[in-house]
Amino acid sequence: MPPRIVIVASTLLAVLHAYIGWRILPNLPAPPSVRLLGVLWLVASFVLVPTGLLARTIKRQPLSDRLAWAGLLAMGLFSSMLLLTVVRDAVLLLATLAGLSGSGWSHASAVAVPVLAVLATLIGLINARRVARVVDVEIPIAGLPEELCGFTIAQISDIHVGPTIKRGYLDAIVNAVNALDADLIAVTGDLVDGSVRQLAPHTAPLARLSARHGTYFVTGNHEYYSNAHDWIAEVRRLGLTVLLNEHVLLTHGNATLLLAGVTDYAAHHFDESHRSDPHKALLGAPDRAGAKVLLAHQPRSAEAAADAGFDLQLSGHTHGGQFFPWNLLVPLQQPFTSGLNRLRSLWVYTSRGTGYWGPPKRLWAPSEITHLRLIKAA
């Protein structure tokens, strides 16, 4: 990372921590020793937040993972502290304008900020670490052949096996997916955060995924941060079919389902030969198919997918925002944040993700294993 960016980021982080201390600590109705602990926490947080993101560069284990856990938990707590401090200042300003200001409001709200931040972080941790729940979704497809009515797809996405998500976490996901007995399993990218050498033992449970028509994988942006070519080879070794701007034809009864997959929307920044292209994914495909389904990590592949004539696109990437207020920023980059949406004649389903990235924290954006069922449009 360029030194200038490091300096700017560090300065901003220091200013934000100082802002929390300036606005909260003097107003706490507590002895100086408690305020000193607050100062020490702010200093520790300032150090730990970047440490959580950089810990995976440390080769020594278990030190690397322990630092990651400490830093990412600190990041989640800091995020809530900052948001609640801003909200507190806004509320105090409104109270002052309404003639309701007073030391009681100031003291009580100063206590509320750390209490609520810790509570939000604990609840978010529990939400993030539990096994994702199954979300049932029906997709109405115009002209769907009778043989494909009821065809099911189990989708998992954005697991982010890495410093805080290991084999046991993925094992539980695989068990839940296999219990659905789906016709097809789709893994829509961002499987990992780390190298094959580091994480191969932890992604091994993917080999147990079982579905009538197989398991299919497309790359996400995080695969490219972690050497996508190595991961493509590893995922194939585990028995998954990787779709790189290509398609397969699945015969189900007397009907045919076309399943295509594209590389991540930004893959060309890492490898020009991996430029995402839904049109290329259809090369050589028959003119007619009972349904055309595209796996594309990012929802913003939808415009090209609609132009190419797909019926359904399955995506992830957004995590549904993961926790407030980041969900408000997703629409700045992606056309859809979560759930089922329509773009012209294309249905787009955006998973909130099956794992999490960064802080082990989910609030108002629960993780999911999606169980999709094709039905005939009325």
- 360 and 314, same structural domain? yes
Residue 232 to residues 95, 123, 239, 240, 347, Cα–Cα distance (Å): 57, 35, 11, 9, 27
Asked whether the predicted pLDDT for residue 1 surpasses 70, the reply is no
Omega prior to 325 cis, within 30 of 0: yes
Burial class (CB within 10 angstroms; exposed 0-12, middle 13-18, buried 19+) of 191? buried
- 144 and 123, same structural domain? no
Into how many domains does the chain fold?
2
- 117 and 76, same structural domain? yes
Residue with tokens 């096994």: 131
**100 pLDDT tier (thresholds 50, 70, 90):** confident
Which of the 8 DSSP states describes residue 98?
A: T
Give me the DSSP letters along 312-355. EEEE-SSGGGSSTTGGGTGGGT-S--SEEEEETTEEEEE---SS
Q: CATH number, domain at 246?
A: 3.60.21.10
Q: What is the tens place of the pLDDT at every residue in 331-360?
A: 999 999 999 999 999 999 999 999 999 999
Q: Are strands 255-261 and 241-242 parallel, antiparallel or unpaired?
A: unpaired
Task: Give the range of the structural domain holding residue 344, as residue numbers without chain letter.
Answer: 134-376
C-alpha distance across the termini of the chain, in Å: 54
pTM for the whole structure? 0.95
Q: Which two tokens stand for residue 135?
A: 């979300």
- 198 and 112, same structural domain? no
In terms of phi and psi (left: phi > 0; alpha: psi -120 to 50; beta: otherwise), the region of 258 is beta
- Please give the share of the chain, as a percent, with pLDDT higher than 90: 89
Asked whether the predicted pLDDT for residue 41 surpasses 70, the reply is yes
- 248 and 108, same structural domain? no
- 219 and 244, same structural domain? yes
- 74 and 199, same structural domain? no
Q: What is the tens place of the pLDDT at every residue in 135-167?
A: 999 999 999 999 999 999 999 999 999 999 999
- 81 and 148, same structural domain? no
- 96 and 78, same structural domain? yes
Average pLDDT over residues 253-257: 96
- Mean pLDDT for all residues in the chain: 95
- 344 and 232, same structural domain? yes
Q: What is the tens place of the pLDDT at every residue in 277-296?
A: 999 999 999 988 999 999 99
Of 84, 108, 129, the residue that ends a domain is 129
